[in-house]
Structure 1
């Protein structure tokens, strides 16, 4: 047995290369679908990274508000996972390929990385609020671009799930952050 195993080779041929579109009948031009797929893959990476931040915070929560935050982080993680699923399904419906692996997320997301160690509660909360704001600042213009291009389905998904979900979660986390900073 080796101490330093090599990467496993890819064994199966791909049915569709990343960055390509298969024909679909949605009444959208290929250029519109390409732009929407690229934007959605970026949001998918950010959403996956945020879900992972919530899981990390869930596992590493501590202090007097441990139980409450432990449950809240887990709830928010599950909600982000549902958003990930909706985004990936929209990408596939547009004829694209959803980036689905950890190395894809690392390559695509621009969310700040958390340290490997355990952060204090206030730092966890700040990091989560910052991540939500980052996603919101990216999502709003993408929704407007999709709407302007006639891709109402993508616009609806971004506004209805990404923007509204992140706004609500950010509000919950910000309330906890305010309470933590006041010592409550």
Structure 2
């Protein structure tokens, strides 16, 4: 039987405030065999890719909801699948930043400040424009990921390089292939 604790209550302690215990852009010391410089560099590059990937995820969800036309169902489902895959990448990238002792960008307002992905119109674009917008966002992330993978490898951060190559780049390239094939102008049937 559990002992009673004087003053214990099931009431949540609401409206708590606390001091910021680690600033964004800093790294804590972790015994993971990487220099502070390598970890700081990796966190900076990963946070940029993380911000852009969060925007790509949001674009996928927006276009998934706003899809139109005769291929509505196929593209609606494909974009939702890609969004789920991007969401998994977001978590992996953020966890790598934390593993390096950094602070992962998570506030959507800060993401909007950091991203280099152009903002889409608030309304609905034509389907080819939506798909092209996704392809351009992918290319931005892929260019950054290729460069970051090579540079983090040079600094001895094999874990970050592996994440970028095995997860970010491979997932992005596959998604680009699937999207790009929807922009090929071929007849469905020949007469």
Note whether the superposition's TM-score is higher than 0.5. yes
2:120 to 114, 118, 127: 114
Instruction: Name 1:76's counterpart in structure 2.
Output: 82
Q: CA deviation at 1:183?
A: 6.0
Which runs of no fewer than 5 residues in structure 1 stay unpaired?
A: 1-9
**How big is each residue's C-alpha offset from its partner over 1:87-118, in whole Å with a ceiling of 9 and x where there is no partner?**
00000000000010111111111011111000
Instruction: Name 2:10's counterpart in structure 1.
Output: none
SS for the counterpart of 1:96 is coil
**How big is each residue's C-alpha offset from its partner over 1:27-49, in whole Å with a ceiling of 9 and x where there is no partner?**
10000000000000000001000
Root mean square deviation of aligned Cα: 1.5
Instruction: Name 1:92's counterpart in structure 2.
Output: 98
In 2: Cα distance, 1:183 partner to 1:14 partner: 59
In 2: Cα distance, 1:18 partner to 1:130 partner: 28
In 2: Cα distance, 1:177 partner to 1:15 partner: 48
User: How does the TM-score come out when normalised to structure 2?
Assistant: 0.88
Instruction: Name 2:138's counterpart in structure 1.
Output: 132
Q: CA deviation at 1:182?
A: 4.0
In 2: Cα distance, 1:142 partner to 1:53 partner: 23
In 2: Cα distance, 1:97 partner to 1:156 partner: 20
Instruction: Name 1:45's counterpart in structure 2.
Output: 51
Instruction: Name 1:30's counterpart in structure 2.
Output: 36
Q: CA deviation at 1:138?
A: 1.1
User: How does the TM-score come out when normalised to structure 1?
Assistant: 0.91
**How big is each residue's C-alpha offset from its partner over 1:53-74, in whole Å with a ceiling of 9 and x where there is no partner?**
0000001001100111000000
SS for the counterpart of 1:40 is helix
Q: CA deviation at 1:14?
A: 1.7
Which runs of no fewer than 5 residues in structure 2 stay unpaired?
A: 1-15
Paired residue total? 174
Runs of 4+ in 1 over 2 A off after TM superposition: 181-184
Question: Is residue 64 of structure 1 aligned with residue 64 of structure 2?
Answer: no
Q: Which has the larger radius of gyration?
A: 2
